[in-house]
């Protein structure tokens, strides 16, 4: 889902790599939790679609708040919307090769 990103969207993605999932100590990007990033220059809005590794994730709200905070720190003049989805459901196959290396998979 993260194909054809603009330069700004790629920069946001790199900023989100600084956010670890506290349960596994791998960043949320390499875990495959970020599904889409949209940058709307004219409206000064950033939209991020993401999921969590489990519906009952006890730190889900914290992770989502970090996504908003990190993005807002990078682009303070923008409104940031973070949407949580369960479709498609996250699976370990969504972990990037870098994430798998960190997890010794």
CATH at residue 46: 3.30.300.130
Alpha carbon distance 47, 84 (integer Å): 11
Q: Nearest to residue 1, comparing CAs of 26, 33, 36?
A: 36
* Pair type for strands 45-50 and 79-84: parallel
- The reply to whether 97 falls in a domain is no
Is the Cβ–Cβ distance between 72 and 16 less than 8 Å? no
pLDDT surpassing 90 at residue 22: no
Q: How confident is the model at residue 25 (pLDDT cuts 50, 70, 90)?
A: confident
Dihedral class, residue 63 (left if φ above 0, else alpha if ψ from -120 to 50, else beta)? alpha
Position 84 in a domain: yes
Tens of pLDDT, residue by residue over 50-105, are: 999 988 888 899 999 999 999 999 999 999 999 999 999 999 999 999 999 989 88
Is the pLDDT reported for residue 35 higher than 90?
yes
Q: What is the pLDDT of residue 24?
A: 85
In a domain, 98, yes or no: no
Q: Which domain holds residue 57?
A: 7-90
Is residue 77 one of the residues assigned to a domain? yes
Asked if residue 23 has pLDDT above 90, the reply is: no
Residue 95 in any domain: the answer is no
Answer whether residue 101 is part of any domain: no
Task: Name the domain count of the chain.
Answer: 1
The pLDDT score that the predictor gives to residue 37 is 97
pTM for the structure as a whole = 0.93
């Amino acid at each position: 889902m993260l194909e054809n990103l603009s330069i700004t969207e790629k920069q946001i993605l790199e900023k989100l790599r600084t956010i670890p999932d506290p349960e596994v100590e791998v960043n949320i990007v390499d875990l495959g939790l970020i599904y889409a990033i949209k940058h709307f220059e004219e409206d000064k809005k950033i939209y991020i679609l993401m999921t969590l590794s489990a519906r009952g994730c006890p730190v889900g709200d914290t992770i989502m708040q970090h996504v908003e905070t990190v993005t807002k720190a990078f682009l303070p003049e923008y409104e940031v919307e973070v949407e949580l989805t369960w479709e498609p459901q996250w699976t370990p196959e969504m972990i990037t090769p870098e994430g798998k290396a960190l997890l010794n998979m």
